[in-house]
C-alpha cells in the first residue's frame, strides 16, 4: 500500500491528536482520583479522630469513676482534683464528639443516649462527692450506696460508646474498601489509557516508518530514472556528435573531390580563353588574305567564344566560392575544442565593440543583460556563433525602427541558455528551420552572403553539445536561442584522414 | 650530372591535372622527360622494378598527388623514403589537400616540398610555373652507389 502525502499527514495528525487527548484524559483522571483519595483519606482521618475522641471520653469517664471510688476509700485530694477536672472535661469532650459526628445523624442519635448516660453518671458522681463532703456521717455512709448504683450508667456508657466505636469502624471499613476500589479502578483506567497511547504511538511510528520507507524508495526510483535520463541524453549526444562527425567528414571529402574537377574546368577554360587570341588573329589573317575561306558561321562562333567562356568562368567562380565555404565549415568542425571558463558579458561586449561602427551607422544598439551565467566552453567556437548571430541581427533590422538587440544568458539546470533577441524584420515561421540549412536564406535578399552563416552556427552549436533555434514572428523581431551544456566535455575524437 | 638526365615522375590520377601540370612545366622552360602514372601500383612498379626506373637507373624527381584511386600517396611516400636507394630522390607533394596534419605527416615522412594545388587556375598555373623554375635550379643527387 502506498501512503499518499495527504493521507499520511492526516493519519499522523490523528494519531498525535488522539494520543494527546488520551494524555489529557489520563491527567484528568489522575487529578480527579487524587482529589477523591484526598477526600477519602480525610474521611479515614476523621474516623480515627472520632474513635480517638470516643476513647478519650471513655478514659475520662473511667477516670471520673476511679476518682469517685478512690476518694470514697481514702479521701485523697488527688482524687478530688481528678474529679473536678474530669467533670469539666467530659462535657467538653462530648461537645467535640458531637462536632465531629455532625454529618452522621445515626451517630448523633446515639450520642444523645451517651450524653444522657454521661449526665446520669456525672450526677451520681456529684452526689457521691457531695455526700462525702457532708459533715453528717450518715450522709457520708450513703455515698457507698451511690457508688454501687453508679456502675449501671457506666455499663450503659461503655455499651453505647462501644456501639458508636463499632459504627465508626464499620464506616472506616467501608471507606477503606471504597478507597481500594477507586485505586484499583484508577490503575485499570490508567493502564488502559497507557496501552492505548502505546498502541497509537506504535501505529504512528509504524506509519512514519512506512512512509519514510516509501519516500526513500520513491527517491531511489527517481534517482534511477534520472540516471537513465542522463544515460539517454549521453547516448543521444554521442549519436548526434557521431552524425555530426560524419557530416563533417562528408563535407570535407565532397569539397575536396569537387575541387579536382573544378581545377580542370577552370584550367582548360583558361586554356580555351588563351586560344581565342591566336584563333582570332588567324581568322583576321584569313579574312585579309583569303576571304573565300572564311564563312559567317566560323566568324560567329569565334565571336561567341568569349561570352561562353565568361559564363563558364562566372559559374566556376561561384562554385569555387561555395566549395571553399563548405571546406571552411568542415575545417571548423574538425578543430580540436578547448573548453575554458568564458566571461560571456566580456565576449559579447567585444563583439559589440567590433560592430560599433556599423551600429552607429544604423543607429542601433546592443544591450547586455547582466548578470550572465557562467559557462565552460570553447572560446573560439562560441565567439563565432555569437558574432554570427549578433551580426545577422544587425543585418536584418526593420527599416524605420531603431534597432535594439538584447543578449542575455541564464542558467537552466545543467545548461546555459543564451538569447540574442532583436526587434528586426523577423523571420516567417516556415523558414525557422530552413535558415539553418546550407545555402538557404530567408526574406528579402538585400544583404550579401552565401547562406552559410547560420549553417555554420548550427554545426558549431552541435559540436559544443548544444542546440540553436529561432523564435520569431514576421515583422516583430527574432530571438535566437542557444542552449549549451554549462561545462563542455570533450570526448577524444578519431582524426579525420584526408 | 646533366639536367636532361633527370626524369620527372608524375603520379596523378586526374588526367586533366596531369595535362595542365605538364603544360605549365613546359611553359616554364623545363624539357626533362615526364613519366605520368594514374595509379600508385603502376608508379611504384616503375620506380622499383623498371630497368629505366629511378631505382636501377639514374636520378629522378617525383611529383606526387595524395588522392589516388588504389592507394594513398602517403603510402607511396613512405615506401620511397623507406628505401635505401630511393630515399634521396626529391619528392614534391602536389595535391588538393591542405589539412595541417596531412602536411606535417608528409614532411615527417621525408617529403621535400609540399604544394597545395590552388583551385583558381591563374594561381595554379603560376604555382606550377614557379615549380618549373625551381626544378630548373634544383640539384638532384645521383641514385645508387653508396
Q: With a cut of 90, say whether residue A398 has pLDDT above it.
A: no
Q: With a cut of 60, say whether residue B61 has pLDDT above it.
A: yes
Contacts of B17 in chain A (CB under 8 A): 260, 263-264, 267
**pLDDT band at residue A389, thresholds of 50, 70 and 90?**
very high
Contacts of A267 in chain B (CB under 8 A): 16-17, 20, 121, 124-125
Cell of residue A26, nine digits: 489520563
ipTM of the complex: 0.73
**pLDDT band at residue B4, thresholds of 50, 70 and 90?**
very low
Q: With a cut of 50, say whether residue A116 has pLDDT above it.
A: yes
Q: From residue A78, give the alpha-carbon distance in Å to each of A57, A67, A133.
A: 20, 8, 15
Cis peptide before A476 (omega within 30 of 0): no
Q: Please report the DSSP string for A312-345 in residue order.
A: HHHHHHHHHHHHHHHHHHHHHHTSPP-EEEE-HH
Average pLDDT over every residue of A76-104? 86
Closest C-alpha among A409, A389, A396, A408 to residue A364: A396
> Of A144-153, A336-345, B58-67, which range is least confident?
A144-153
CA B8-B98-A464 angle, to 5 degrees, is 160
**pLDDT band at residue A74, thresholds of 50, 70 and 90?**
confident
Q: Does A267 touch chain B (CB under 8 A)?
A: yes
Average pLDDT over every residue of B107-131? 83
Q: With a cut of 90, say whether residue A171 has pLDDT above it.
A: no
What's the whole-model pTM score? 0.49
Q: With a cut of 80, say whether residue A251 has pLDDT above it.
A: no
The helix/strand/coil state of A368 is strand
Per-residue confidence (pLDDT) for residue A90, from 0 to 100: 87
- pLDDT tens, position by position, A2-29: 567 788 788 888 888 888 888 888 888 8
Cβ distance of B17 and A263 shorter than 8 Å? yes
Residue of A nearest to B13 (CA): A260
Q: With a cut of 90, say whether residue A335 has pLDDT above it.
A: no
Cβ distance of A263 and B67 shorter than 8 Å? no
Residue of A nearest to B65 (CA): A260
A188: number of CA atoms within 13 Å, CB side? 6
What is the rounded CA–CA span in Å between residue A307 and residue A300?
A: 12
Per-residue confidence (pLDDT) for residue A148, from 0 to 100: 65
Burial of A25 (0-12, 13-18, 19+ CB in 10 A): middle
Which of A249, A256, A266, A267 best probes binding to B when mutated, by most B CB atoms within 10 angstroms? Answer: A267
Contacts of A261 in chain B (CB under 8 A): 14, 16
Q: With a cut of 70, say whether residue A146 has pLDDT above it.
A: no
Average pLDDT over every residue of A474-493? 84
Average pLDDT over every residue of A39-63? 86
Most confident of A78-92, A315-329, A443-457: A78-92
Cβ distance of A266 and B101 shorter than 8 Å? no
Contacts of A320 in chain B (CB under 8 A): 119-120
Closest C-alpha among A147, A142, A157 to residue A97: A157
Q: Where does A209-268 show beta strands of DSSP type E?
A: none
Amino acid at each position: 500500500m502506498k501512503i499518499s502525502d495527504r493521507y499520511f499527514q492526516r493519519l499522523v495528525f490523528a494519531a498525535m491528536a488522539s494520543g494527546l487527548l488520551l494524555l489529557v484524559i489520563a491527567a484528568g483522571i489522575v487529578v480527579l482520583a487524587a482529589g477523591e483519595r484526598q477526600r477519602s483519606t480525610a474521611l479515614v482521618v476523621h474516623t480515627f479522630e472520632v474513635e480517638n475522641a470516643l476513647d478519650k471520653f471513655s478514659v475520662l469517664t473511667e477516670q471520673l469513676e476511679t476518682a469517685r471510688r478512690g476518694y470514697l476509700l481514702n479521701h485523697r485530694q488527688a482524687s478530688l482534683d481528678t474529679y473536678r477536672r474530669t467533670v469539666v472535661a467530659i462535657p467538653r469532650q462530648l461537645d467535640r464528639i458531637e462536632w465531629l459526628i455532625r454529618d452522621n445523624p445515626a451517630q448523633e442519635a446515639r450520642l444523645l443516649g451517651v450524653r444522657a448516660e454521661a449526665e446520669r453518671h456525672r450526677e451520681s458522681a456529684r452526689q457521691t462527692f457531695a455526700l462525702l463532703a457532708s459533715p453528717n456521717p450518715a450522709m457520708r455512709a450513703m455515698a457507698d450506696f451511690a457508688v454501687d448504683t453508679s456502675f449501671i450508667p457506666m455499663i450503659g456508657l461503655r455499651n453505647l460508646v462501644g456501639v458508636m466505636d463499632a459504627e465508626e469502624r464499620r464506616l472506616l471499613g467501608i471507606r477503606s474498601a471504597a478507597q481500594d476500589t477507586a485505586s484499583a479502578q484508577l490503575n485499570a483506567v490508567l493502564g488502559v489509557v497507557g496501552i492505548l497511547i502505546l498502541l497509537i504511538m506504535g501505529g504512528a511510528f509504524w506509519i512514519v516508518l512506512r512512509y519514510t520507507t516509501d519516500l526513500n524508495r520513491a527517491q531511489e526510483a527517481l534517482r534511477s530514472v534520472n540516471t537513465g535520463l542522463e544515460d539517454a541524453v549521453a547516448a543521444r549526444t554521442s549519436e548526434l556528435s557521431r552524425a555530426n562527425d560524419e557530416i563533417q567528414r562528408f563535407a570535407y571529402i565532397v569539397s575536396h573531390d569537387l575541387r579536382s574537377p573544378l581545377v580542370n574546368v577552370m584550367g582548360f577554360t583558361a586554356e580555351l580563353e588563351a586560344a581565342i587570341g591566336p584563333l582570332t588573329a588567324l581568322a583576321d589573317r584569313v579574312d585579309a588574305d583569303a576571304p573565300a575561306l572564311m564563312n559567317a558561321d566560323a566568324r560567329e562562333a569565334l565571336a561567341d567564344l568569349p561570352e561562353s567562356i565568361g559564363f563558364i568562368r562566372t559559374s566556376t567562380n561561384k562554385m569555387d566560392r561555395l566549395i571553399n565555404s563548405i571546406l571552411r565549415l568542415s575545417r571548423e568542425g574538425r578543430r580540436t575544442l578547448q573548453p575554458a571558463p568564458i566571461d560571456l558579458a566580456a565576449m559579447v561586449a567585444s563583439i559589440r565593440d567590433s560592430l560599433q561602427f556599423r551600429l552607429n551607422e544604423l543607429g542601433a544598439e546592443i544591450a547586455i543583460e547582466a548578470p550572465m551565467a557562467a559557462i565552460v566552453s570553447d572560446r573560439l567556437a562560441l565567439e563565432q556563433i555569437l558574432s554570427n548571430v549578433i551580426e545577422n541581427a544587425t543585418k536584418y533590422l526593420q527599416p524605420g525602427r531603431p534597432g535594439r538587440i538584447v543578449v542575455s544568458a541564464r542558467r537552466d539546470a545543467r545548461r546555459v541558455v543564451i538569447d540574442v533577441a532583436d526587434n528586426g524584420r523577423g523571420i516567417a515561421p516556415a523558414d525557422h528551420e530552413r535558415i539553418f540549412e546550407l545555402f538557404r536564406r530567408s526574406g528579402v535578399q538585400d544583404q550579401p552572403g552565401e547562406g552559410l552563416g547560420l549553417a555554420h552556427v548550427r554545426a558549431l552549436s552541435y559540436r559544443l553539445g548544444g542546440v540553436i533555434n529561432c523564435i520569431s514572428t514576421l515583422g516583430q523581431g527574432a530571438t535566437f536561442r542557444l542552449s549549451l551544456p554549462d561545462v563542455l566535455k570533450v570526448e577524444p575524437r578519431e582524426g579525420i584522414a584526408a | 650530372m646533366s639536367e636532361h638526365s633527370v626524369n620527372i615522375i608524375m603520379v596523378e590520377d586526374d588526367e586533366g591535372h596531369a595535362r595542365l601540370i605538364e603544360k605549365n612545366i613546359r611553359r616554364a622552360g623545363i624539357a626533362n622527360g615526364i613519366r605520368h602514372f594514374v595509379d600508385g601500383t603502376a608508379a611504384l612498379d616503375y620506380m622499383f622494378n623498371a630497368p629505366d626506373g629511378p631505382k636501377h637507373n639514374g636520378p629522378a624527381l617525383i611529383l606526387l598527388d595524395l588522392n589516388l584511386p588504389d592507394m594513398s600517396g602517403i603510402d607511396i611516400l613512405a615506401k620511397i623514403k623507406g628505401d635505401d636507394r630511393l630515399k634521396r630522390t626529391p619528392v614534391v607533394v602536389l595535391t588538393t589537400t591542405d589539412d595541417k596534419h596531412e602536411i606535417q605527416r608528409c614532411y615527417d615522412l621525408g617529403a621535400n616540398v609540399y604544394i597545395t594545388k590552388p583551385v583558381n587556375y591563374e594561381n595554379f598555373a603560376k604555382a606550377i610555373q614557379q615549380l618549373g623554375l625551381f626544378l630548373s635550379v634544383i640539384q638532384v643527387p645521383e641514385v645508387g652507389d653508396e
